[in-house]
Chain A
Amino acid sequence: MKIERRVISVIVQNEHSVLARITSLFAARGYNIETLTVAPIPESNMSRLTIETRGNVRVIEQIIKQLHKLIPTYKVIEHEEMVEKEMVLMKFPINESLANIQALCEAYNGGIANVSSQHIITMVADEPKRVKHFIEAAQRFHPVEIVRGGVVAMERE
């Protein structure tokens, strides 16, 4: 069976060790987590997790059912038609060309976030595939540190 990439959102009750329940489910059943983001949903007692995972159709189906089975899980959304974004921070040495770095970032929906005496820090937020391209393109400026934020997604409709 073909291995595919999937983005799943899970809405859970905001309670003690709920994140541990989810991650230990993935660990115990041998599922992959590529990226994971978590934050509380404003004005509710719920949190939203976005999980980027990989697996064949049967595995993905099981992941969704097993997530559902957890008692604090309110909803599991298997994204089909979605807007997805990922943020990345990158740090470059100050001797690299600020103008070139800025131009590259702007091409990817970002810009310069901070400049200190030692480093330039950039921020880009774009589709995960484009973020990957950005990271590749930025290699020629000799980045010293890369922080990826993980995928967040929202259904179009």
Chain B
Amino acid sequence: MEMTGAQMVIEAMKLEGVDTVFGYPGGAIMNVYDEIYKQNDFRHILTRHEQAAVHAADGYARATGKVGVAFVTSGPGFTNAVTGLATAYMDSVPMVVISGQVPITMIGTDAFQEIDATGISRSCTKHNYLVRSAKELPLILKEAFYIASSGRPGPVHVDIPKDVTAELATFEYPTHVDLPTYRPTTKGNVRQIKKAAEAICNAKRPVFYLGGGVISSGSADLVREFVQTTQIPAVETLMARGALRHDDPLLLGMVGMHGSYQANMAMSEADLMIALGPRFDDRVTGKLSEFAKHAKVIHVDIDPSSIGKLVDVDYPIVGDLKEVLEVMMPKVKECVDPDRFQAWRNILKRYNEIHPMQFEDSDKVIKPQWVIKRVGEILGERAVVSTDVGQHQMWTAQFYPFSYPRQLVTSGGLGTMGFGFPAAMGVKRGMPDKVSINFTGDGSILMNIQELVTAVEARLPVVNIILNNHYLGMVRQWQTFFYDKRYAETDLSFQPDFVRLAEACGGVGYRVETKEDFDEALEDAVNKGVVAMIDVIVDREENVLPMVPSGGTLYNMMLEYKD
């Protein structure tokens, strides 16, 4: 069938089963928006900034596992979207972002709203395309969705010049993709798997090191079974929170800079690390030469370049985690004796008794950790939790009782302030039956505050909980610890009235200074069904602890801070 490039874009969305597109129109992408106007197959949600459109698509993708989609125009529309692309790229989130471009005839002339978009997105996408003619478009769009969601997932950017969206060509949408240059290895090497299984059975102090790959590959159920049958304790990275239930006695907590003492000690003293889909981020490993230095390493990852990038691996296994575990688990079951690890589990339990993950509560001020714990008690599994970036993010990772995969949506790799609110809108759109909570800070929330308008208009009742310490808290904490309290530009005492700000946009706002008020505000906000801003005034000077200072070692944590 013959149609315009713009119509092809709409058709492709339909055929890919896209139900939501987040975006913002502009000159170069107007032909596509004209077709959006005429269709009823998907809902377009108009954000008030392109960055938010991409974060919303990202949040939608993280919460549902489906490919998130965003449309933006050329030039500034695209450059505004770059932070969103980079955020998704660092956390391996499947996404397709389509940008308008000036007509092919004007490319290279410094035309109005022209920028070399694919040149810019090259280093922050899994792949990108500049479409040269309408006849290439069906194949490119098919490939874009396939590449975004297969192998190690990631964002794909498609840049479409305006004349291509007007050009007529035959539309035949491919049913499958065959790229001779792109064939991700999904089956692990059986010999390697067998050797790894033996290593597990012969270990004395093994530990599971669970990364974001557990979530993105949909292997959490298998991993839970694996942990259960072997009775081997496990640590989770930030991106793996929810892989195991929070109350699983074998879960040692989060690992790394703000991980639990027992998790970091387990890594430091283990003789075997079973790494399932992590990428050995510096925020996890601390000083590399001291990281898990007694451990042999099994590393399963779909991305060969993740394996051996930072740490030497004894049993490298390239493959899809699910497929690898399906082969590995029966082999381990044959030889494993869960009692063998009893002494090891006892040691770790002792570590946890000495330094449990806790905070000192207060009657005088609200502690930020209390707020998170309290939301966990009240909403628990009912909420999907997004965060912004900073202290509140780490406290959420430490104290929220996560029970299932995809329950936490957070910018781990890039650490993008301003991510949480739009992402939580995407979460609400993808998981309408869940309460979409965004834990945020008084710094982060202002970085995409305009989305209050979107959330009201599009009826996406996100509950924003600001842990307001009138500081750019995490930077302030580093200034306290490492810069002799020279608080350079981190005092945010001057700030808007968040309650009235929310109300001005049609939402509801609450200012909370006591614990009792918090419970009431939360209940009211959840029941109101409109975007909410709960401004919780918390202890200003609270620090995220324990902490491995940057470049320090996991076994040498700062457990308390004495002024």
Interface residues of A (CB under 8 A from B): 12-13, 16-17, 20-21, 24, 28, 58, 61-62, 65-66, 68-69, 71-74
Contact = CB atoms under 8 A, between A and B. Distances in A.
B127 interface: yes
B305 interface: yes
Given A21-B122, A28-B123, A62-B309, A68 B304 contact: yes
A71 B130 contact: no
Contact of A74 (B123, B180, B309): B180
Interface string B100-127: 0000000000000000001100110011
Interface string B282-321: 0000000000000000000001110011000000000000
Nearest to B309: A62
B314 to A, nearest CB: 15
B181 A17 contact: no
Given A16-B132, A20-B119, A24-B123, A69 B305 contact: yes
B123 A71 contact: no
A72 B181 contact: yes
Nearest to B130: A16
Contacts of B118: 17
A66 B180 contact: no
Contacts of B119: 17, 20
Contacts of B147: 71
A31 B514 CA distance: 55
B181 A71 contact: yes
B182 interface: yes
A72 to B, nearest CB: 6
B157 to A, nearest CB: 12
Given A17-B118, A21-B122, A24-B123, A58 B130 contact: no
Contacts of A68: 304-305
Nearest to B303: A69
B132 A61 contact: no
Contact of A71 (B127, B303, B304, B309): B127
Interface in B135-157: 147
Contact of B181 (A24, A28, A58, A74): A74
Contacts, number: 37
A40 B119 CA distance: 22
B305 A24 contact: no
The 7 A-B residue pairs with the shortest CB-CB distance, nearest first, are A65-B305, A71-B127, A74-B181, A28-B123, A65-B304, A71-B182, A66-B305
Contacts of B182: 71
Contacts of B130: 16-17
A69 B125 CA distance: 12
Interface in B171-223: 179-182
Contacts of B309: 58, 62
A73 B304 contact: no
Contacts of B305: 62, 65-66, 68-69
Nearest to B131: A16
A68 B152 CA distance: 13
Contacts of A66: 305
A75 to B, nearest CB: 9
B326 to A, nearest CB: 25
Contact of B179 (A21, A61, A62, A71): A71
A80 to B, nearest CB: 19
Contacts of A21: 122
Contacts of B132: 16
A24 B121 CA distance: 11
With a 10 A CB-CB cut-off, give which of B180, B181, B182 has the most chain A CB atoms.
B181
Contacts of A24: 122-123
With a 10 A CB-CB cut-off, give which of A20, A65, A74 has the most chain B CB atoms.
A65
A117 to B, nearest CB: 41
A15 B213 CA distance: 31
Interface in B3-46: none
A20 B130 CA distance: 13
Nearest to A12: B181
A85 to B, nearest CB: 27
A16 B119 CA distance: 11
A10 to B, nearest CB: 11
Contacts of B181: 12-13, 71-74
B95 to A, nearest CB: 16
Nearest to B147: A71
A65 B184 CA distance: 12
A17 B128 CA distance: 10
A31 to B, nearest CB: 13
A84 B303 CA distance: 31
Given A61-B308, A74-B181, 8 more contacts: A13-B181, A20-B122, A28-B123, A62-B309, A66-B305, A69-B305, A71-B182, A73-B181
Nearest to B124: A28
A69 B309 CA distance: 14
A119 to B, nearest CB: 37
A87 to B, nearest CB: 29
A46 to B, nearest CB: 9
Nearest to B156: A71
A86 to B, nearest CB: 28
Contacts of B127: 71
Contacts of A61: 308
B304 to A, nearest CB: 5
A13 B305 CA distance: 21
Nearest to B118: A17
A71 B127 CA distance: 7
20 contacts: A12-B181, A13-B181, A17-B118, A17-B119, A17-B122, A17-B130, A20-B119, A20-B122, A28-B123, A58-B309, A62-B305, A62-B309, A65-B304, A65-B305, A71-B127, A71-B147, A71-B181, A71-B182, A73-B181, A74-B180
Contacts of A16: 130, 132
Nearest to B307: A65
Contacts of B126: 71
A126 B126 CA distance: 39
A125 to B, nearest CB: 31
Interface string B335-367: 000000000000000000000000000000000
Nearest to A67: B305
Contacts of B303: 69
